[in-house]
Amino acid sequence: MQQIGGSGVIISGWPAVWRVRAPDHTLDPVTPAERMTITRIRQLGDPILRVRCELVKDTRAMATRLVVADLRETLRDFRERHGFGRGIAAPQIGAPLRIAYVEMQGEELVLINPEIVDVGHEDFEVWDDCFSFPDLYVRVMRAHHIRVRYLDLEGAPRELEAVGDRAELLQHELDHLDGVLAVDRATGPDPFCLRSEWTRRYAAAGRYGPPVPRAFDYVSHPAELGSPG
C-alpha cells in the first residue's frame, strides 16, 4: 500500500515502513528496524510495477543497503522455492528506486542508478520470464551486446560489458526501473506461452535464438517502437 502526502511516498510491506522523502527522494526508515527480510514479490497488475523509479541519492545510506539486502534474500528464497531466478529489481519488492540485484555465473552484482550507454549492432530472440509473472514466458527481442554504467554501494561509478544471456538479463532488470515489463516488448506471432506448455514445446530448442543484425535503431522504451510486430 502507498500513501501520498507532503512528506512523499509511504511504502509498507517490509519489516519497517519506509518514507521516500520529497523533493530529494531519499529513503529513510520510519521505524528503527534494521534487518533484511524476504519480501513479497509484486505481481503483474500491481501499479508499482508501472512506476518510473527515482534515483538513489545516497548509495551508502543504511536504507539503501537494507533495500539491497532485501533484494538478495528475496531472490535467493524465490530461486530455492522455484528452481530459477537470476535478478530482481527494487520495484518488485515495492521500492520505487533505481536499484537492481543480479546473481549470475557466480557473480553477485548490485547496480544503483544503472543506465545502458551503448548497444551492439545485433539483436536476438529471447523467451523471457519474470518473478512478477512466473508462470508465463514472453518472446521478446533484446540487444545481444550492451554496455551499462552504474554506481556500486560505495557510490563509485562503474561500467560493464554484457553479452548474450547476461545482456538480456540486465535489459530486463533495467526495464523494471522504468515501469516496462517483458509483456510490453512481446514480439512475433503468438508471443505468450505458459511455462508448462513452453517446457513441452520449446525447451529442447532453448530460450535464446542466434544474434541477427538489428533491423531498427535501439530505443529504451517499447512505446517508441509503435505496435509490436
Q: Which of 159, 173, 197, 224 does the annotation list as catalytic?
A: 173
Q: Which residue in the block uniquely carries the three cell numbers 539483436?
A: 123
What DSSP character marks residue 98? Answer: S
> What distance in Å separates the CA atoms of residue 85 and residue 101, rounded to the nearest whole number?
11
173 is catalytic: yes
For residues 129 and 136, the answer to whether their CB atoms sit within 8 Å is yes
> What distance in Å separates the CA atoms of residue 170 and residue 162, rounded to the nearest whole number?
8
Residues 57-74: b if buried by 16+ CB within 10 A, e if exposed: eebeeebbebbbebbbbb
For residues 136 and 194, the answer to whether their CB atoms sit within 8 Å is yes
> What distance in Å separates the CA atoms of residue 222 and residue 63, rounded to the nearest whole number?
32
Q: How many CA atoms lie within 13 A of 179 on its CB side?
A: 11
Name, in order, each residue with C-beta under 8 angstroms of 48's C-beta and a sequence gap of 6 or more.
2, 42, 91, 94, 96
Helix (H, G, I), strand (E, B) or coil at 174: helix
Active site residues: 173
